[in-house]
Chains A and B, each alone.
Chain A
Amino acid sequence: MQTKTVNNQKHQRSINNAFASHFAKSMFLAVSGLAILTFIGTRMFTHVDLNLYGYMVGTIIFLGGFFYRFISWGERPPTKLLIKKGMKLLFRKSTPKTTVNHLAVYEFIWNRGIYRWTQHILIGWGCILACLVTFPLVFGWMYFTMDDTGYYNIILMGMEIMTVPADGIIANLSYNALNITALMVIAGVSMALYRRIKNMQARAEQTILYDFLPLYMLLLISITGLALTFMNVFLHGVGQPIMSLIHQWSVIITLIYLPFGKLAHIPFRPLSIFARNYREHYAEQSMKKCNVCGNEFVSDEQSKDVVAVLGINQIEFQTKEGHHLAELCLPCRRKYRIAQFSGFPTHDVKVKEANQNAKG
């Protein structure tokens, strides 16, 4: 057992040594992956749409920012620990349900307010659907061909997956997919902007760079996208090349900005599934009893992990009674502090904490 782990470590180190850093390695793997997929999808580069070249460059710059940001994130002790344990617990029975709930349905945002939920469904799903259409087009993973017979072929990864009448519902939906998603995003962003102007709660903390910039960028992308359609359909393409450039530019800037601002939550949010699995799994294993009152309040594992993470940060909350403060349940920990102030052991009086819910 011992030797095996040592060997594994050596092995890993030797692969990692081939690259200057994690960053170089991830970047290399991702760009190679994209290139291979593109090679296959475009039937050996025979179907590249050069109008979309800007997006390709944008995506690659985005990947650079993304890995830079997320690798340094992953090195923080609590993040590293959660990722490591979350990976191990990925295949719990509840994972599919948690995933759908956290990443697609957003029940927890619903509980924050129906307005906020509607706004996020529109923005989130508008963007996700738009990406599902755009990226395969950009990298040539998906394209369309038209038969003389008035039928329309959808080709995914070099394979014909569907042949539909050119004026049918599916064909119309797919021509208009990006228009529909643009309308969704515009509606959602307008709701968000309205809330940010009207709602005192939102106004309290917002800043232009963090809260407004992403909204304006999404708005710009959607409006220029719709304008493209408008110019094609009603103006016979007048102004289309310039608008196309503005649109491309706004998408690229947003992609580059994404890992650094508010939108960084998109690639990071899947960790909420790790967190849920972590809490569920270790709570089933064994619960930590409060060192003062004996109530179970968190899993043993999490209590130990938090103590360890604080330790790495040189934070030790050792009490003179020999506990770590993270081993006390929350009410006892608060009473323990009152006891430090007053000199009277409040936490040892077996009385539930008094009314803490004064309403305004």
Chain B
Amino acid sequence: MKKRLYIELENCIGCRSCLAACTQCGGHEERNRNYVYDVNPLVNRQTMPLMCLHCVNPACARSCPAQAIQVHETGAVLSALVEKCIGCQNCTIACPYGIPKFDTEQNLMYKCDLCIDRTKDGIPPMCASVCPTNTLQWLTDEEIANRKKQFNMDNGKWISSMPYLEGETNVKVNLPGILQGITKLF
């Protein structure tokens, strides 16, 4: 059963477990590849994670002159192949969400690969495995559809893609109702 990373943004409490877990994934060389942001840092403590969304038509891969960024058959957009990346940094400029990181010393780009060694076998990625608040979850399409119904929002805003994202993505994001002044029914 194909599962996806599903993000319920407003559950995030800013513990950064996902970042710590990311460093521990095979192939990540102990460097994390994601982000956690304060939404309104001077006013409250709401945070949100920002992950690679594994675009269906990934701008990072389209802009890479070396074809170093491959798309896995599961739809995961992989990190740069170590022998191919020539260090131009086009991908960092192209990604609409600013995800790829670049190591100048190693002349190498690295980004979220959705823990491909795990997810290719159906094991959830590290971030979703450790998230204590169910912000990051590993779900089937059916479960995601149920989630959508359960929230009982018939304004079509819950599972966000366009216009909140720049294109179709393999990771599904759930828009934060609280911050939009909409009550979410658990």
- List residues of chain A with CB under 8 Å of any chain B CB: 73, 76, 78-79, 81-82, 102, 108-109, 111-112, 200-205, 262, 265, 268-269, 271-272, 274-276, 278-279, 298, 302-303, 305-306, 309-310, 313, 315, 317, 325-326, 328, 330-335, 337-338, 340-344, 346, 349, 351, 353-360
Contacts and interface: CB of A to CB of B under 8 A. Distances in A.
Given A76-B67, A333-B97, A334-B97, A201 B26 contact: yes
Given A313-B62, A354-B41, 4 more contacts: A326-B93, A331-B98, A334-B37, A359-B20
B41 A357 contact: no
A208 to B, nearest CB: 15
Nearest to A263: B83
B166 interface: yes
B134 interface: no
A112 B103 CA distance: 10
A8 to B, nearest CB: 25
A351 B96 CA distance: 21
Interface in B23-61: 23-30, 32, 35-42, 46, 48, 50, 57, 59
B86 A272 contact: yes
B77 interface: no
Main SS class of interface, B: loop
11 contacts: A79-B67, A202-B27, A309-B63, A310-B59, A317-B166, A334-B98, A342-B179, A346-B37, A355-B16, A358-B19, A358-B32
Contacts of B180: 342-343
Most buried by B among A272, A302, A342, A351: A342
B65 interface: yes
Given A82-B88, A205-B78, A344-B179, A271 B166 contact: no
A282 to B, nearest CB: 11
B49 to A, nearest CB: 10
Interface of B: 9, 16-17, 19-30, 32, 35-42, 46, 48, 50, 57, 59, 62-67, 78, 82-84, 86-90, 92-99, 103, 105-108, 113, 116-117, 160, 164-167, 173, 175-176, 179-180
B94 A310 contact: yes
Contacts of B48: 338, 341-342
Nearest to A346: B39
A341 B98 contact: no
B69 to A, nearest CB: 11
Contacts of B86: 268-269, 271-272, 274-275
A354 B48 CA distance: 12
Given A201-B28, A306-B63, A272 B37 contact: no
Contacts of B62: 78, 309-310, 313, 315
Contacts of A305: 90
A343 B180 CA distance: 7
A272 B36 CA distance: 32
A276 B67 CA distance: 17
A268 B25 CA distance: 30
B36 A354 contact: yes
Contacts of A271: 65-66, 86
A205 B96 contact: no
A259 to B, nearest CB: 13
Contacts of A343: 179-180
**Closest 8 CB pairs between A and B?**
A204-B27, A333-B98, A360-B23, A204-B26, A204-B117, A272-B86, A358-B19, A108-B107
B40 to A, nearest CB: 5
B90 A203 contact: no
A167 B181 CA distance: 89
Nearest to A274: B86
Contacts of A81: 65
B40 A108 contact: no
Contacts of B164: 340-341
A82 B91 CA distance: 13
A357 B35 CA distance: 9
A342 B96 CA distance: 17
A358 B15 CA distance: 9
A349 B65 contact: no
A358 B23 CA distance: 8
A243 B123 CA distance: 47
B106 A268 contact: no
Contacts of A349: 40-42
Nearest to B82: A112
B54 to A, nearest CB: 15
A279 B30 contact: no
A317 B95 CA distance: 9
A203 B20 contact: no
